[in-house]
A and B are shown apart, each in its own frame.
Chain A
Amino acid sequence: MTRLSVNEAAKKADYPLFIPFIMAGDPDPSTTIELALRMEEAGAHIVELGIPYSDPLADGPVLQRSAKRALQQGMSLTRAMELVPDMRRRGLTIPVIIFTYYNPVLQMGAKTFLDKVKENEADGVLIPDLPYEESQDLTVTAKENGLANISLVAPTSSTRIEKIANKAEGFLYCVSSLGVTGTRESFSEEAYTFIKNVNSSSKVPVAVGFGISKPEHVENLQGVCNGVIVGSAIMKKVEERLSELSQEGKMKQNALEEIKSFVSSLISS
């Protein structure tokens, strides 16, 4: 079976188009592979594979700690991408998006990076600190290689929404509210208005991220957008189960199942 592209997977999904984020190498590479597989089993349509970075400007405390643990394990952009073929061999079929800050990409070279994304059977990229103005060349090269460069819009994007939405590939990542990644209790009326506005400007499906952590968040967004992205809430579960996940055996399997059922509960809400 040929793998779906990010575009196809996003378009095909019924609400909620579900996109989990997992940090490569937290707590170790083999657990990352297991987690990716559990995400697909739980019903995820696309998975974001996070590359740990020393200075993650857009991330809150949970993902900062997660990145730190992964870096201590020696995780890098190259090694993280090399996990994807293993995931494929183990049966992962959904598209994988490499989520990385720009500096590691710059060191590798953008062209080499995109070649490796493709070579390692991943399907798209997301670079949170490479805004529209700085990412035009990369978006074009990615597209020529059948890869999607995911664009973001934020509540402050205002007049920028239209031009960003026009160039969006795969899905449009809509940042729910101001601030860094991490859980928020609830979303304001303004947030819903903003998301609706983005949804009406976008030709590709709109997925909302930043702060999605509970079934009712997902429920409340039905009819407002096409899906959700969940990162911190999942990596928080990983953090809570670190000791179990770090060893082999039944305890680890239980922890993985627990994370899977958390994700299932978000999807089926």
Chain B
Amino acid sequence: MSRVYPDNNGRFGSFGGKFVPETLMYALEELEKSLTEAWEDTTFVEEYKHTLAEYAGRPTPLTYAERLTQKLGGAKIYLKREDLLHTGAHKLNNAVGQALLAKRMGKSKIVAETGAGQHGVATATVCARLGLECKVFMGEEDMRRQELNVFRMELLGAEVVPAVSGSKTLKDATNEAIRYWVANVEDTFYLIGSVVGPHPYPKMVRDFQRIIGDETKEQLQDKEGTLPDAAAACVGGGSNAIGMFYPFLEDNVELFGAEAAGKGISTKKHAATITKGTKGVIHGSLTYLIQDENGQIIEPYSISAGLDYPGIGPEHAYLAESGRVAYEGVTDKEALEALSLLTRAEGILPAIESAHALHLAFKKAKEMKEGQTIVICLSGRGDKDVNSIKEEWKRSLNHD
């Protein structure tokens, strides 16, 4: 398949593009130009790589999950340990890249959106490191649910602004961040957290996250002398997944994306954008979207705050349509079971987001032959989720 995308209009097949108010068009053109220049500048590329190595802790290990492999039978399971990256999730790869770009462009103010707070924390972290002013929009409801992350961001010197419109979650925080950017576009850089938004954001974030897949390829080559047979990752907006998948797109590697099926895709409480969504425009990009018949966006649901986004990165929409990546829904319950399994078998507590990928990968691993390998992007650590896991545990005990 051809990887010459996005095209000049920012399209991945029919997906992507720039559906934004005119006020932002010039800023997007400027961003695109600066991004191209930056990647051609060895100083910039070196600084990005140096920061990831010396500050963020790259490369992250590729851990062989031996006990788990024996327990499940089937393919050998490898975990790409983004949970060991500074701040505890893959989000920092992208935040470092974009913040360095902002600095190179002479923008001293950063605005970002955050759902659970992981991207907000990553952004606040890199802003502290680079001396940039940082404002993070977060849904009022999410601020309540993720109080500790709010405090973490404040400790790092960021200002957390509650988004009080709509359902007061990630979708609305993103709306507010974009509205703020529209008003302050001349001196402010919008540091988006996933492979979503108008062109060139999906491409930019992908290129800052592909290091996950690039390293995985090299590390598995060292360990097994071959490519993996399959790779799996969870998909909300889809940045860790695209980071893992992109370097394997032209290889003979099966790719699996796990989206949040919440209480089940036959219910209304899910965030299974590809399985249940239809084509639409959200946050400047044409993609699959959970919406009603009049084109009004519906608030999604997942136990994991990082996956409950009503859209999905346009490149994923394209990879789903072309059949290159298989996307499947994973329920809250399945994710929690996978989380528990990994924690007990390997002593690794994954983020609930990553646990969705674990469930799907475990299922596939069991169907695969012994001697085959599957890599899973363990996108983040689960410390942030301990409270909600505890709540869920209590609830299910009461129901039993």
- Out of A61, A76, A108, A128, which one reaches B21, CB within 8 Å? A128
Q: Do B185 and A103 touch (CB < 8 A)?
A: no
Q: How far is the CA of A37 from the CA of B23 in the complex (A)?
A: 32
What are the residues of chain B within 8 A of A254 when measuring CB–CB?
Answer: none
Q: How far is the CA of A130 from the CA of B183 in the complex (A)?
A: 18
Closest to B17 in A: A134
How far is the CB of A169 from the nearest CB of chain B, in Å?
Answer: 15
Q: How far is the CA of A134 from the CA of B280 in the complex (A)?
A: 14
Q: How far is the CA of A158 from the CA of B26 in the complex (A)?
A: 8
How far is the CB of B226 from the nearest CB of chain A, in Å?
Answer: 44
Report the stretch among A116-124, A147-155, A213-221, A243-251 that lies at the interface: A147-155
| Residues 1-49 of B at the A interface (beta carbon under 8 Å) | 9, 17-27
Q: Do A131 and B295 touch (CB < 8 A)?
A: no
A129 in the interface, Cβ–Cβ < 8 Å? yes
Closest to A76 in B: B294
B282 in the interface, Cβ–Cβ < 8 Å? yes
B279 in the interface, Cβ–Cβ < 8 Å? yes
| Residues 101-154 of A at the B interface (beta carbon under 8 Å) | 101-108, 128-134, 152-154
Report the stretch among A49-57, A89-97, A259-267 that lies at the interface: A49-57
Q: How far is the CA of A53 from the CA of B182 in the complex (A)?
A: 18
B319 in the interface, Cβ–Cβ < 8 Å? no
Q: Do A78 and B294 touch (CB < 8 A)?
A: yes
B348 in the interface, Cβ–Cβ < 8 Å? no
A19 in the interface, Cβ–Cβ < 8 Å? no
- Out of A103, A108, A180, which one reaches B182, CB within 8 Å? A180
What are the residues of chain A within 8 A of B183 when measuring CB–CB?
Answer: 178-180
Range of interface residues on A (Cβ < 8 Å):
35 or more
B70 in the interface, Cβ–Cβ < 8 Å? no
What are the residues of chain B within 8 A of A101 when measuring CB–CB?
Answer: 281
How far is the CB of A21 from the nearest CB of chain B, in Å?
Answer: 15
A222 in the interface, Cβ–Cβ < 8 Å? no
Residues A129 and B284 in contact in the complex (CB < 8 Å), given A55-B297, A157-B22, A175-B22: yes
Q: Do A104 and B182 touch (CB < 8 A)?
A: no
How far is the CB of B170 from the nearest CB of chain A, in Å?
Answer: 12
Q: Do B279 and A106 touch (CB < 8 A)?
A: yes
How far is the CB of B103 from the nearest CB of chain A, in Å?
Answer: 21
Q: Do B280 and A179 touch (CB < 8 A)?
A: no
B165 in the interface, Cβ–Cβ < 8 Å? yes
What are the residues of chain B within 8 A of A197 when measuring CB–CB?
Answer: none
A64 in the interface, Cβ–Cβ < 8 Å? yes
Q: Do A130 and B182 touch (CB < 8 A)?
A: no
What are the residues of chain B within 8 A of A230 when measuring CB–CB?
Answer: none
Residues A57 and B296 in contact in the complex (CB < 8 Å), given A107-B291, A131-B22: no
How far is the CB of B291 from the nearest CB of chain A, in Å?
Answer: 7
A77 in the interface, Cβ–Cβ < 8 Å? yes
Report the stretch among B58-66, B171-179, B262-270, B336-344 that lies at the interface: B171-179
What are the residues of chain B within 8 A of A159 when measuring CB–CB?
Answer: 26
Q: Do A129 and B19 touch (CB < 8 A)?
A: yes
What are the residues of chain B within 8 A of A158 when measuring CB–CB?
Answer: 26
Q: Do B282 and A55 touch (CB < 8 A)?
A: yes
Residues A107 and B294 in contact in the complex (CB < 8 Å), given A133-B9, A134-B18: yes
Q: Given contacts A106-B279, A152-B22, A156-B23, list 20 more A-B pairs with CB under 8 A.
A: A55-B166, A55-B282, A57-B178, A57-B179, A58-B21, A58-B23, A103-B280, A103-B281, A103-B295, A107-B278, A128-B22, A129-B20, A129-B284, A131-B19, A131-B25, A132-B22, A134-B17, A156-B27, A156-B185, A175-B21
Q: List 13 A-B contacts (CB under 8 A).
A: A55-B175, A57-B21, A58-B23, A77-B294, A102-B19, A103-B280, A104-B295, A107-B293, A107-B295, A131-B18, A159-B26, A160-B25, A160-B26
| 5 tightest Cβ-Cβ pairs between the two chains A and B | A179-B183, A104-B295, A107-B295, A154-B23, A76-B294
Q: Which residues of B are interface residues toward A (Cβ below 8 A)?
A: 9, 17-27, 165-166, 171, 175, 178-179, 182-186, 278-284, 286, 289, 291, 293-297
